[in-house]
């Protein structure tokens, strides 16, 4: 008989931990194995918490190709598909394979600094900001065309799945995840007689990359923030943002509808 392994991760909240134990027991009673540590050969990863907990699990295990199911324990829970009182229903449907997989696109950024290269990946977004309170200046190209010298706090490059997160707070558009586009949203752009920057988001097709050449200033570093996780660079020569081949698989049930989710979470 094949061993059917399911990885479970929960955030540190007492309630999430309680749900984790309950779910583990229920899965074991249904014949599944729940490994103590991350098992790369598991058939499913269950993340208990909010979107933040799910994003941290995704990054910790470097965007595994195993499908994820999110159990929401009292946060916004945009990625989280089920509520803790639906565990039995989930196991029932899962055993009958009555679910759909939503494939979500990811964004990547390559940072060049002298001879060094750093790769970052995001399911929601990747942001470049200054490490200090001063304005940063970014020379931005789209494809091979130079577009603008941006001045402000920074820029955000998001996927459709990330369009409802930080991007939305910045005035960016909500994008249906069935579209394959990247959205570039300015963060506090300056648009004065001294500085000229686009003030709205720009939407790009998947084959176009965005290249950013930050202007180096003394003692000014940069932060690259991928899905809320900060990475500091004392200087950056170039950052290229583009689509990544990696997709994240999310388990969704029959009733899932992106726009219903938007409505129930935002309106
Ligand atoms: P956080 O600062 O604790 O939470 C930000 C909020 O965004 C949480 O309510 C989170 O949901 C929600 N969220 C995450 N992904 C979402 C998505 N795709 N659509 C709609 N809402 C989403 O940080 P976190 O929980 O670790 O999440 C990281 C994300 O926070 C980043 O990827 C970034 O998009 C977002 N963020 C937003 C702002 C802002 O809006 N001003 C600033 C910084 C970062 P849960 O409550 O379920 O965790
Ligand atoms: Mn959170």
Look at residue 218 in the predicted model and tell me its pLDDT.
67
CA distance between the termini of the chain: 48
Quote the CA–CA distance of 8 and 20 in Å, as a whole number: 7
Could you tell me how many residues make up the chain?
Answer: 267
Q: Tell me if 77 CB under 6 Å of ligand 1.
A: yes
Boundary of a domain, candidates 48, 75, 98: 98
Predicted pLDDT of residue 217: 75
Boundary (domain end) residue, out of 98, 117, 134: 98
CATH number of domain containing 194 = 2.60.200.30
The rounded percent of the chain whose pLDDT value lies above 70 is 100
The span from the CA of 220 to the CA of 132, in Å, is 7
Amino acid 219: pLDDT: 72
Q: Which of the listed residues 72, 98, 124 is the one where a domain comes to its end?
A: 98
Ligand 1 pocket member 162 (CB < 6 A): yes
Q: How far apart are CA 4 and CA 96, in angstroms?
A: 14
Query: Quick one: which ligand is closest to 223's CA?
Result: 1
Give the position, in ligand 1's atom list, of the atom nearest the Cα of 50.
47
Asked if residue 159 lies in contact with residue 104, where contact means CB atoms within 8 angstroms, the answer is yes
Is the pLDDT reported for residue 257 higher than 70?
yes
| Burial class (CB within 10 angstroms; exposed 0-12, middle 13-18, buried 19+) of 59 | middle
Q: In testing the pocket of ligand 1, which one of 59, 82, 166, 183 has its CB within 8 Å of the most ligand atoms?
A: 166
Q: Mean pLDDT for the chain?
A: 96
Tokens of 42: 């598991």
Rounded to 10 degrees, what is the CA torsion of 10, 13, 19, 23?
20
Tokens of residue 95, six digits: 């055993």
State the residue for tokens 């790009």: 204
Measure 124 CA to ligand 2 centroid, in angstroms. 13
Segment 90-111 shows an average pLDDT of 98
CA of 59 to the centre of ligand 2 (A): 14
What does the CA dihedral 39, 161, 124, 141 come to, rounded to 10 degrees? 130
- Which structural domain range is residue 167 located in? 106-245
Q: Are residues 91 and 24 in the same domain?
A: yes
Among protein residues, the one with the nearest Cα to ligand 1's atom 40 is 166
On whether both 125 and 92 belong to a single domain, the answer is no
Q: Are strands 100-113 and 116-122 parallel, antiparallel or unpaired?
A: antiparallel
Q: What are 149-205's pLDDT values in tens digits?
A: 999 999 999 999 999 999 999 999 999 999 999 999 999 999 999 998 999 999 999
Per-residue tokens: 216: 């180096």
If one residue of 15, 16, 48, 52 were mutated to test the ligand 1 pocket, choosing by the most ligand atoms within 8 A of its CB, it would be 52
Name the DSSP class of 40: T
| pLDDT > 70? residue 91 | yes
Closest CA to 262 of 178, 184, 163: 163
Q: Look at residue 186 in the predicted model and tell me its pLDDT.
A: 98
Whether 88 has a pLDDT exceeding 80, the answer reads yes
- Report the distance separating Cα 29 and Cα 252, nearest Å: 23
Q: Catalytic residue at 88?
A: no
Question: For residue 2, what pLDDT is reported?
Answer: 86
Q: Decide: 214 in ligand 1 pocket, CB within 6 A.
A: no
Atom 9, ligand 1: which residue's CA is nearest?
76
- Candidate list 12, 13, 51, 131, residue with the active-site label: 51
Q: How far apart are CA 171 and CA 165, in angstroms?
A: 11
- Indicate which CATH number applies to the domain containing 59: 3.40.50.10330
The verdict on residue 261 lying in a domain is no
More confident residue, 267 or 261: 261
Say if residues 182 and 125 touch (Cβ distance below 8 Å). no
The verdict on the CB of residue 227 being under 6 Å from ligand 1 is yes
Task: Tell me the CB-side half-sphere exposure of residue 124, using CA atoms within 13 A.
Answer: 22
Same domain, 78 and 195: no
């Amino acid at each position: 008989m094949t061993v059917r392994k399911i990885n479970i991760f929960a955030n540190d909240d007492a309630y999430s931990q309680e749900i984790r134990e309950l779910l583990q027991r229920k899965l074991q009673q249904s014949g599944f194995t729940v490994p103590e540590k991350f098992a790369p050969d598991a058939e499913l990863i269950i993340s208990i918490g909010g979107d933040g907990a799910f994003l941290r699990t995704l990054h910790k295990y470097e965007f595994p190709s195993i499908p994820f199911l999110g159990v929401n324990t009292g946060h916004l829970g945009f990625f989280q598909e089920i509520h803790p009182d639906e565990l039995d229903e989930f196991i029932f449907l899962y055993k009958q394979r009555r679910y759909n997989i939503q494939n979500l696109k990811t964004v990547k950024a390559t940072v060049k600094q002298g001879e060094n290269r750093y790769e970052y990946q995001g399911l929601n977004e990747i942001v470049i900001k200054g490490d200090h309170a001063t304005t940063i200046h970014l020379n931005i190209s789209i494809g091979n065309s130079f577009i603008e010298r941006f001045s402000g706090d920074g820029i955000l490059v998001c996927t459709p799945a990330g369009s409802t997160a930080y991007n939305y707070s910045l005035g960016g558009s909500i994008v249906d995840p069935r579209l394959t586009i990247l959205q570039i949203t300015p963060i506090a752009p300056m648009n004065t007689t001294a500085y000229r920057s686009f003030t709205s988001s720009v939407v790009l097709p998947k084959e176009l990359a965005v290249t950013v050449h930050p202007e180096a200033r003394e003692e000014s570093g940069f932060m690259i923030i991928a899905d809320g996780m900060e990475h500091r660079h004392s200087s950056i020569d170039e950052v290229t943002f583009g689509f990544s081949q990696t997709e994240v698989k999310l388990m969704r049930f029959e009733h899932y509808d992106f726009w219903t989710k938007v409505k129930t979470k935002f309106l």
